[in-house]
């Protein structure tokens, strides 16, 4: 199976404009000409325009961290797909656990955002993952299955092919405690099983599934070496160009 490795940096609510420019320049200097791995950075909205200029004509793609599903109108504080597209954004993270936990994101809103992003020509990075309580309660599969089915509900296979899935166990995000390579791989295989059931094996085996949750240079090689782990969605370690580069091209 020839899925390409895809490493994306999720800068979250970090970087002022000057910091974002510095970080983007560092990322481009370190990995801007890497061709055997797909690379993206997802800065805050306020820095997309400036970072777009820096990553232009490099192999680093630009992503946003969220999007609203409506096209335009009275939605104070929200950003539309068209607004992102106009800045040269190609990708958008949807359904991150921080959106789910703190800002009322549901499987239904994830579904609307994924559909809107695809209709607009943006590539969604669809995040799923269980909490520690859910894992310890033996409910990992139930939760992840509900999230995957919810995210893609009503969507044609041709559209789901345009998505990337990020498996991000909530207990591993920002905690320094990553899922073991085995735990990550098992979850990814499980996600492919759900997609095979919803669609077919071709889709299940073709779709890129990133792992996210305390991935760093020291554990990247082992995680990325798993059969079904195709990349990483990187938070903390994406805020230093050298660390991010150490994941894109692990030693
Ligand atoms: P982390 O975050 O790498 O800091 O754990 C990952 C994410 O939330 O996407």
Q: Which atom of ligand 1 is nearest to the CA of 127?
A: 9
Rounded to the nearest whole angstrom, what is the distance from the C-alpha of residue 212 to the centroid of ligand 1? Answer: 6
Neighbours of 97 (CB within 10 A): 23
pLDDT at residue 146, rounded to an integer:
98
User: What is the pLDDT, as a whole number, of residue 1?
Assistant: 57
Distance (Å, whole) CA 99 – CA 197:
27
Closest CA to 45 of 9, 79, 76, 3: 79
CATH number of 5-248: 3.20.20.70
State the catalytic residue, choosing from 105, 130, 134, 168: 168
What pLDDT is stored for residue 251 in this prediction? 80
In ligand 1, the atom with minimum distance to the C-alpha of 175 is 5
The catalytic position among 68, 96, 98, 145 is: 96
CA–CA separation, 7 vs 214, rounded Å? Answer: 13
State in Å: Cα 125 to ligand 1 middle: 13
**How far are the Cα atoms of 66, 96, 98, 242 from residue 103, in angstroms, in the given order?**
11, 10, 7, 31
Token couple for 51: 């970072």
Query: Which residue's entry shows tokens 């974002």?
Result: 20
Ligand 1: residues with CB < 6 A are 10, 168, 173-174, 212-215, 233-237
Q: What is the pLDDT of residue 196?
A: 98
Res 2: pLDDT: 82
| Phi, psi (rounded to 5 degrees) for 41 | -125, 145
Clarify whether 145 is annotated catalytic.
no
User: Which ranges of 152-240 does DSSP label H, i.e. alpha helix?
Assistant: 157-160, 181-198, 201-206, 217-224
Q: What is the pLDDT along the chain (251 residues), one digit of tens a residue?
A: 589 999 999 999 999 999 999 999 999 999 998 999 999 999 999 999 999 999 999 999 999 999 999 999 999 999 999 999 999 999 999 999 999 999 999 999 999 999 999 999 999 999 999 999 999 999 999 999 999 999 999 999 999 999 999 999 999 999 999 999 999 999 999 999 999 999 999 999 999 999 999 999 999 999 999 999 999 999 999 999 999 999 999 88
C-alpha 70, offset from chain centre: 21
Q: Do 192 and 205 meet the contact criterion of CB atoms below 8 Å apart?
A: yes
Note the residue count of the chain: 251
């Amino acid at each position: 199976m020839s899925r390409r490795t895809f490493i994306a940096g999720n800068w979250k609510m970090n970087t002022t404009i000057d910091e974002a420019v510095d970080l983007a320049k560092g990322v481009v200097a370190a990995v801007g000409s890497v061709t055997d791995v797909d690379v993206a950075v997802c800065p805050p909205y306020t820095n997309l325009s400036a970072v777009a200029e820096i990553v232009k004509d490099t192999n680093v793609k630009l992503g946003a961290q969220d999007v609203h599903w409506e096209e335009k109108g009275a939605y104070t504080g929200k950003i539309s797909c068209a607004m992102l597209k106009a800045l040269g954004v190609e990708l958008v993270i949807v359904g991150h656990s921080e959106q789910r936990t703190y800002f009322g994101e549901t499987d239904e809103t994830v579904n609307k955002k994924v559909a809107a992003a695809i209709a607009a020509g943006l590539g969604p990075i669809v995040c799923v993952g269980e909490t520690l309580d859910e894992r310890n309660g033996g409910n990992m599969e139930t939760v992840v299955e509900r999230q995957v089915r919810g995210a893609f509900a009503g969507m044609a296979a041709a559209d789901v092919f345009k998505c990337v899935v990020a498996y991000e166990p909530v207990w591993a995000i920002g905690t320094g405690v990553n899922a073991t390579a085995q735990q990550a791989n098992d979850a990814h295989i499980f996600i492919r099983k759900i997609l095979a059931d919803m669609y077919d094996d071709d889709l299940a085996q073709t779709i890129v599934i990133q792992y996210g949750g305390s991935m760093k240079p020291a554990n990247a090689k082992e995680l990325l070496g798993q059969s079904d782990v195709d990349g990483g969605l990187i938070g903390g370690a994406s805020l230093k160009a050298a660390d991010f580069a150490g994941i894109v091209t692990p030693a």
